Structure formats: C-alpha cells, structure tokens
Chains A and B, each alone.
Chain A
Amino acid sequence: RAVSPGSWFELGSCTKGARVFSLRDLDFGDSPAQACFQWGGLVGWFVFQVALLDIDICGPSIPKMMGLEGEQVHQSGSGWSPVYVEENLGVMSVGFLLSSPDDAVIWRGPKKNGLIKQFLRDVDWGEIDYLIVDTPPGTSDEHLSIVQYLSAAHIDGAVIITTPQEVSLQDVRKEINFCHKVKLPIIGVVENMSGFICPKCKNESQIFPPTTGGAEKMCQNLNVSLLGKVPLDPQIGRSCDKGQSFLSEAPESPATSSYRNIIQRIQEYCDQHPFQEEKII
C-alpha cells in the first residue's frame, strides 16, 4: 500500500497516507449492525492496519461493541496510544477517557470540536492503511469538524447508513446533501435492518417497511450507489452487546455474507480511487 508523506504530518504523529472514510448515519445510530459492520470490515481486511475513531462524543458505543469497556488510553512520548483490539486494529473513543459508564459528556460544540482535533493530532496511530471514523447522527459540529480537519489529508469518502423507511430516508437525503455541500465523496449507502426472517417459520417480515421504495429507490433517484442491504439478525445485537465479532460468530448468517459484500465493495472503491500523491506533495 502506497504510503505518501505529506499533509498528514500536519496532524502531528498521525498516520501517513491512510485511507480515510467516515461512516455516517443519521437516524439509526445505535443500530448494532453498524459497529459490527465496522469490526467485520476490519477483520476482513486482515492484512491491513486499521484505525477506528469514534467521534460520537456524547454516546460512544464503540468501546462496548469491541469488547473494550473499561480500557484506558495510555500516554506515551509520541502521544495517546489507541486501544488495540487486535494487533492491526486500534480504536480511539471518548469512552476510554470516562471514569464510569454513568459519566455524561455534557458539552457544547466547541469542546467537542477540541477533542476531535486532539484525537487526530495527539493520537499515535502509527502507520495505518484505513482510518474509519464513526460519527453521531446529524449534520452539525462533529461532522463539519471532522471533514474540515481531515480536508488536507484526503478523505476517500463516506458510507451512509439508513433503514428502509421513509422517516429514515428523509434524514439520509439531508446527509447526502451535506456531503455534496462539503464536497465529501459518497462511497455508497447501506440499508440496515432490511427485513427479518423468523428463526422458527423462516418467513420474512418487513418490520421497517420500505414504503417509498427503500434505499434502492432513493439511490437510483439521487444517483448514489447502494452498497448492500443487511437483514435484521438477533445475533448481531447479541454479538455487539458481548463485544464479539459477529462475522466470526455467525459465519453462516445471511447478514454476514451481506457485510462481506459491502466490505468488498468499499475496498474496490478505495482501490479504484487511488490516493493521489502528487496532489499532496
């Protein structure tokens, strides 16, 4: 993987030439599938060095989903050390800085922005291939700040998560408009909680009905790629609560194959849109 020197150095000890993309979702922020999606992705990219940055300052879920609750961030000469799930997967979240699970981060924008900057500048990520940023719902401080702070470093693009109903899609359209506004490329949309197959009778139910055609129709209308649909699977929630990797716990689940396809499509996107070194130097 090409490692290019350049603007990353402005971010201090941060990575060189990493692939950066942000996972943003609006409505369905707590969808357990989402973080599994991430972790699954990371395991899938076994040969890569991956960093996961959680900028959901008021509701960090990543530590729990990764089985890292109670871990602390250590300080070294080169900055804060991320918490490692595996040798090639480092995580940073405000969750590691809180002393109790009851601690609330009651902060207005400027303080949140300050911490995000610190996460980028002061964390010793080492050399990484992919930096995945998990964002809170919305189009506000955190989103503007991460795009702004990473602008010199080249963000590969955003993966947008939705559920099938119009109440969720209407927010996602706003998110797509946000991406256009700040010139953030869109890798594609993932439709989560897409149908549920009863484990007993194997019949499918649309718990969150796609009354306006779901993500598929929206993607067609807005000319954005649909990366895939992930069905509801009770095992996903269980894996997240236990901090286990859903992809290795349930290799046979239809949700697993859907995740794998999505991960592959993201990788393909990144490979087809290579890092343009000349622009940076």
Chain B
Amino acid sequence: RSNLAGVRHILLVLSGKGGVGKSTIATELALSLRHSGKKVGILDVDLCGPSIPRMFRAQDNDVHQCDSGWVPVFVDQDKSISLMSIGFLLEKPDDAVVWRGPKKNALIKQFVADVAWGDLDFLIVDTPPGTSDEHISTVEALRPYKPLGAILVTTPQAVSVGDVRRELTFCKKTGLRVLGIVENMSGFVCPHCSECTNIFSKGGGEELAKHAGVPFLGCVPLDPQLSQSLEEGRDFIQEFPKSSAFPALAHITQQILDGTLQRSS
C-alpha cells in the first residue's frame, strides 16, 4: 500500500516568482481547511528556502522513522495538520542546501514515496518559484496519484503576473489542472486612516485569470496581522476573523472545497 493511498486530494501551490506568498497561501489554506474539519498535510518541496516549518512554529522538530516510512511533524495534538519539509532534516537551521538538480530530485521522490501521511483529506504541496527541477520532479512523482490541480499565486504587478503566465504554460504542458489564481498582497488598508493603497498595483491576477480562461479565486490584501501571525506561527484563521485578509482566505478555501465536491459527485 502506497503512502499516498490514504490521501484524498492533492493540491499544488505554484508561482513564477519568489516572495509572492506561496507558503503564506499554503499555510492559511491548511489552517482554514482544518477549520472546516479537514485533515491536512503540507509537503514543502522548496529545498533551498523552506518556510513552512517556521510558519507553524514547528521548526525545532525532527523527523522520525516508522515501519511505513518517515513520520511527518504534527502541529497539534489532534494531528489535524502534518508537515514535511527539508527544514526538519537540517542539523542547523541556517545551513544552506547547496544542491544541484539531481540531489533535489532524489529528495523530492523520497518525500513523495516515503512519508507516512496516513489518512488525509488534503495534501498541499508548497513549491519553490520557477518551472525547473523541483516542479518537473514533483509533478512526475505525483502523477500516479492524480493531483486535483494547482493554485497559482501572484502579486498584482505586471512583472509578477508575467511569470504566472509562464506557470500556466507549465501546467498546460504537464497536464496539471489549474484550480485558479490567487492575487496576494492586493492593496493595503492603512490602520491609521483606513485609506487603501495599492502598493503593488491591483487587478493583475484577475485580469490574467480572465485572459487565460481559468477561475479567479480571490484577492488577499496586505495585512500586518497576517504577516505577524506567520512570523510567530500562530493560527491566523482562529485568531483574527475580523481582519481584512480573513474573508478573502475563507472565500478561497470555500471554492476549493466546492471544487472537490463537484469532482467527487
């Protein structure tokens, strides 16, 4: 029995560029899915810059071995969220992983084959930016398990949207369904005067979704409470239901859940 046999849906989070919020979206999506009663795993295949462990304040954990493979790191007692990342395998947190493609590919294969996830409703795969070794290897390794599809994250500016256009082509070429585009860092509401400033412009993600004929999942605004929660590894979905980013994240999650219902019916 394969280690992914108990996983119902596999989602990939992709983007063309770094720093647009893939790990943020992956983390918040996992937290909101848990909020809806789902069991979620996150596989972090960003080998040179893993962010997931810290975003769950799990960075000091180690990975243990069991009969069926590596035991993922659980973030809570209920084991409702489990994580796997190279961050758990490093001796020192600041160690650089200076690896060329083949080594990265080998670890990704191992991550896909050897992690004992158990039963999960969702496995979210957080990727590094680009369309290279990690992406090709991940998509190839996951193909037998028929991933549900990919969520593409962008910021609103044209330079970021340009990279997501290439990512869309990657999905098309590798036969990965696009679940939709998320526009992150979309506007900032000043906490002092409530004026909304579009620091990184506005609307680029939505326009691209229209142009490419894929669903637009929503705009997540810049929200200091969100950045702060991620820094401290706190549950933003639980603690800040009144914040500006909350409704956007809840809406994205709902669409993913609706999509899976449609697929299973």
Contacts and interface: CB of A to CB of B under 8 A. Distances in A.
Contacts of B183: none
B130 A136 contact: yes
Contacts of B195: 198-201
A29 B17 contact: yes
A139 interface: yes
B17 A237 contact: no
Interface string A1-44: 00000000000000000000000011111111001000000000
Interface string A175-206: 11110011000000000000010111101011
A139 B157 contact: no
Interface in B1-42: 16-20, 23
B131 interface: yes
B112 interface: no
Contacts of B199: 196, 207, 232, 234, 237
Contacts of B47: 140
B190 A166 contact: no
Interface of B: 16-20, 23, 47-49, 51, 54-55, 93-102, 104, 128-133, 135-136, 155, 157-160, 162-163, 165-170, 173-174, 188, 190-193, 195, 197-201, 222, 224, 227-228, 230-232
29 contacts: A58-B129, A61-B163, A102-B165, A102-B168, A106-B131, A106-B136, A106-B173, A112-B132, A137-B129, A139-B48, A140-B48, A140-B100, A165-B230, A167-B55, A173-B94, A174-B95, A176-B94, A177-B94, A198-B190, A199-B195, A199-B197, A200-B197, A201-B190, A201-B195, A209-B224, A209-B228, A232-B199, A240-B158, A241-B201
Nearest to A107: B132
A77 interface: no
A83 to B, nearest CB: 17
A277 interface: no
Interface of A (DSSP majority class): loop
Given A28-B19, A241-B158, A181 B98 contact: yes
A206 B252 CA distance: 26
Interface residues of A, number: 68
A139 B97 contact: yes
B159 A64 contact: yes
A59 interface: yes
Interface string A109-134: 11010000000000000000000000
Given A104-B166, A136-B130, A30 B19 contact: yes
B168 to A, nearest CB: 7
Interface string A90-105: 0000000000011111
A214 B231 CA distance: 12
A105 B195 CA distance: 40
Contacts of B232: 211
Contacts of B20: 30
A214 B130 CA distance: 27
B194 to A, nearest CB: 9
A144 B133 CA distance: 15
Given A29-B129, A106-B131, A240-B157, A136 B18 contact: yes
Most central of B51, B157, B191, B228 by chain A CB within 10 Å: B157
B49 A209 contact: no
Between A31, A140, A174, A176, the greatest number of chain B beta carbons within 10 A of the residue's beta carbon is seen for A140
A167 B48 contact: no
B133 A27 contact: no
A81 to B, nearest CB: 24
A105 B166 contact: yes
Contacts of A112: 132
Contacts of A106: 131-132, 135-136, 170, 173-174
Contacts of A176: 94
B54 A167 contact: yes
B231 A209 contact: yes
A104 B97 contact: no
